Structure 1
Amino acid sequence: MQTILGMVLRHKKGEPIGVTSVCSAHPLVIEATLRHSIKTGQPLALIEATSNQVNQDGGYTGMVPVDFRDFVHAIAAKVGFPLERLVLGGDHLGPNAWTMLNSSEAMAKAEIMVADYVRAGFRKIHLDCSMSCADDPVPLPEAVIAERAARLCRAAEGAFDGGAGDAPVYVIGTEVPVPGGAAEDLEELAVTAPDAALATIDMHRGLFRESGLENAWDRVIATVVQPGVEFDHDKVVDYRPERARALSEAIETVDRLVFEAHSTDYQTPQALASLVRDHFAILKVGPGVTFALREALWALDAIEAETVAPERRARLRDVSIARMRAEPKNWRKYYHDRGDALTLQLQFSLSDRIRYYWPDPEIAAAQEQLFANLRETPPPLALVSQYLPLAYAAVRSGEQSFDPADLVMAHIAATLDAYHGACHPNG
């Protein structure tokens, strides 16, 4: 944790540096992230799981926290990434997965989840109790949000049994809209008011201290606010520094804290750099990297159609869409079009709800068959250039092979390049 704490301290002293937080449970995304970190010489790789991906009930990945830890550690061992440079984080840890329950039940489950995360070795913990449960008012009062966050922090601290240098660091607050991209169309977002951001910090600070969590408060490194960035199905709200200037200046008065920016997916490299400069020093990306994953897989599907006999084709794209239609629970509340418009949303929405389906056994089997086909019949250079020009550049420079997994990771790495440039502008 000293690396993250040191980064925050350097930023507070005036260095325009930040850290990228990759929030994904897909093995190719995680491997691409670790390989990219090795290539660029980053001091750490921060990989986060969300409360709906990974929890004591399994989440949509089927993994509990210790499973996710072992899963990421195995990938790190495969690529030779040193574990001392790997930080695991928990995103939106709170009652989000159980809001259909009354608050007492939901918070009891959230306490178990947070403790399980800490015991499994997750050391960056985002305490987010902003969502209303079945018996709560909407919206939830700020004081209730902060009191519940302190309660979860107490559970996290109670679960930690290591040395002081390895103690968890915390992030408070939440962004609007809800995690994972907006469900409805966007026009323009309201930037968090500076007074509101400072009040959130003050409210949490007071309740942490009342709860005997002074030591834990000293390890709160960031608060999540809305800097005016978001995306929905087919639009991106770009960062406009002038709209967030007062908010940016407000955090300069707060010792040890920076802002954490969520939903930075699809921002331009220039916008990402401006965010870091303006003290949004922790940049979260999730759908942006899984969207790149899906782009690459669809490109490989197209290459397969050009090079592999029809009876041998995996038809990953067709299998994936069929499984999404057969099991709509993970996209039904987000996608509302019909017919061809729905087909487009299922595949190409920027909110990328297809990411919930990659662990599906039929889809996973189709992906494995696609890769096997392209290993048996390697794609010609011209087709890589046609369908995966970013990976083509990596192949031509000698950085990647023609292996389909390498081509996918090269495409993902192009997204990570923009984040690295923003967080490490001086190299």
Structure 2
Amino acid sequence: MKNYLLDIVKAQDKGASKGVYSVCSSNKYVLVASMLQAKEDESFLLIEPTANQVNQFGGYTGMKPKDFVDFIQDLADQVQFPVDRIVLGGDHLGPNPWKNETAEEAMEKSRELVKVYVQAGFTKIHLDTSIPCADDDVLPGAPLNDYIVAERSASLCQVAEETYLKAKNEVAKPVYVIGTEVPIPGGAEGELEDIEVTSVSAAQKTLEVTKEVFYKRGLGDVWDRVIAQVVQPGVEFGNSDVVEYDPSKSADLSQFIKNYEGKVFEAHSTDYQPLDCLGNLVKDSFAILKVGPWLTFAFREAVFALSMIEEEMAANQKIQSPSNFREVLDQVMLDHPEAWEKHYHGEEPQLKFLRKYSYSDRSRYYWENPTVKEALETLFDNLSQAEIPLPLLSQYLTNQYRAVLNGQIKKDPKEIVLHKIREVTAWYSHATQATNNA
């Protein structure tokens, strides 16, 4: 079976500015929109849940890896997207979900985590063992020793390789990503200043130490399938600001990776970057661009706009029982603050604003809440049964209004939502030049 990611790496080795974006989301509308984008591009699609989202215990989505595969296959069938053009990856596979346990306990669960991912047919595995566990002898905030990280990564890789051979799935051999995400998952907290780019010496040490350990553990033949390293290229986003990519600050880093055939960089937290910045990242060997919150942010934007349209229609007696969607979502977030209270700070007026509009989009954790889902379906039903007036669509969703006029989409709320999400996927498609074609 073909592993499309290897084609990207080979193209980069030849000096081509080719890349791929990785959809890091379990939101069904985001995933469908991404499939529609890939279908239009005639490209493959890379989708990656994290160890917190999907694991052997269900994660916060309630899905185990096999459940997620079935979920993706069902969505692909709905939009007639070939499943053999979907590459599934596991992001941050390692002890992070169990970092408050001992290293022995956390790594035992990590090995099982990798095992069930590979058994389910995931073929891109991010080995992230950089997080200290409860009994690791490190100062707060200090990194683990490179050799400890490499040893733990190699142990997970070994499990992945053994599992792949036993599983006999009709999928390509796994490829691996090493290194950790320097930006905080989901965006930074507070105001941002300049972000320090990973030094060449640090990147080189990670590569060389990991290679040394892999060979010592008999994984030398796997090293060619370690295709990428996660480093910090100098990008980040917070609640209301974005640090844009500056090619001059990562020039040495970009040149460094070109000396390693078969290796590229993976950039995390690329959300909200301008189009030229995304293109420059790919040009500078950051061939894998991770995007997540921006996609659900766009989804939330569309739903909020539709909610405002519904309110106007209710005021004009076109809708009798409005969903009150925005109020419902905020109340659920207030009733269950676990997903946002550690990330948003300030007085209640500021907190209310952040719950709605923060770039980190902590509302994405609430879309599967039964109360929120019911309100969303009510919103969609109301706007399906009572025709949306074009002037209101123009007022709140200008691009989607134009798409309706041009016959690209119907005046259907779900089509409108998908089109809004595709404004983001289109940027990433253009930045990677849709060059992940098979």
Could you tell me how far 1:165 is from its partner in structure 2?
6.9
How far apart, in 1, do the equivalents of 2:345 and 2:282 lie?
35
Q: Number of aligned residue pairs: give it.
A: 426
Aligned to 2:90: 90
Q: Does 2:164 match 1:155? A: no
2:172 counterpart residue number: 166
Q: Aligned partner of 2:26: which letter?
A: A
**Is the deviation greater in 248-257 or in 201-210?**
201-210
Q: Which residue number corresponds to residue 246 of structure 1?
A: 252
Q: Does structure 1 retain, via aligned residues, the 8 Å contact 2:236–2:244?
A: yes
Question: So what's the TM-score if we normalise by structure 1?
Answer: 0.97
Is 1:392 the equivalent of 2:401?
Answer: yes
SS in 2 for 1:209: helix
Aligned-residue offset at 1:351: 0.8
- SS at the partner of 1:267? coil
Greater shift in the superposed pair: 154-163 or 104-113? 154-163
Normalising to structure 2: TM-score of the pair?
Answer: 0.94
For the residues of structure 2 that align with 1:121 and 1:51, how far apart are their CA atoms?
Answer: 15
- In structure 2, the partner of 1:377 is 386
Counterparts of 2:401 and 2:268, CA distance in 1:
31
Deviations for 1:382-414, whole angstroms, at most 9, x for unmatched residues? 212211122223222222111111101100101
Distance, in Å, in 2 between the alignment partners of 1:361 and 1:321 is 14
2:231 to 225, 229, 251: 225
Partner of residue 194, structure 1: 200
Moved over 6 A (4+): none
RMSD of aligned C-alpha atoms?
Answer: 1.5
Is the Cα contact below 8 Å between 1:55 and 1:113 reproduced in 2? yes
Distance 1:165 1:123, change over 3 A: closer
Which structure is richer in relative contact order (CA contacts within 8 A, separation 6 or more)? 2
Aligned to 2:367: 358
For residues 133-152 of structure 1, what are the structure 2 equivalents within 5 Å?
A: 133-136=133-136, 137=138, 138-152=142-156
Residue 77 (structure 2) pairs with residue 71 (structure 1):
no
Q: Is the 8 A contact 2:118 2:164 kept in 1?
A: yes
Deviation at 1:2, TM superposition (A): 2.5
The reply on whether 1:4 has 2:10 as its aligned counterpart is no
Q: Which residue of 2 aligns with 1:123?
A: 123
Structure 1 unmatched ranges of 5 or more: none
User: Is 2:8–2:287's contact at 8 Å kept on the other side of the alignment?
Assistant: no
1:63 counterpart letter in structure 2: M
Pairwise CA distance, 1:210: 1.2
* Residues 194-229 of structure 1, C-alpha deviations (whole Å, 9 max, x = no match): 111111111111111111112221111100000000
1:164 to partner: Cα distance: 9.4
Q: Is the 8 A contact 1:304 1:313 kept in 2?
A: yes
Given that 2:123 and 2:171 are in contact with CA atoms closer than 8 Å, whether structure 1 keeps it comes out as: no
Provide structure 2 residue ranges, at least 5 long, that are not aligned to the other structure.
none
Give the Cα–Cα distance (whole angstroms) in 2 for the partners of residues 187 and 73 of structure 1: 42
> One-letter code of the match for 1:60?
Y
Which of these residues, 278, 283, 300, is aligned with residue 277 of structure 1?
283
Say which SS state the counterpart of residue 266 (structure 2) adopts: strand
Report how far residue 311 of structure 1 moved: 5.0
The structure-2 alpha-carbon separation of the partners of 1:319 and 1:213, relative to structure 1 and needing over 3 Å to count, comes to same
1:250-307 per-residue CA deviation (whole Å, 9 max, x = no partner) reads 0010010000010000000000000000000100000011111111110111111011
Do the aligned partners of 1:16 and 1:425 also contact (CA within 8 Å) in 2? Answer: no
Q: Using the alignment, how far apart are the partners of 1:252 and 1:193 within structure 2?
A: 15
Helix, strand or coil at the partner of 1:198: helix
Q: Deviations over 1:287-345 (max 9, x none)?
A: 01111111111011111101135751111111111111111111121112221100011
| The 10-residue stretch of structure 1 (373-382 or 234-243) with the greater mean CA deviation from structure 2 | 373-382
1:21·1:285 contact (CA, 8 Å) conserved in 2? yes
- Seq. identity, %: 46
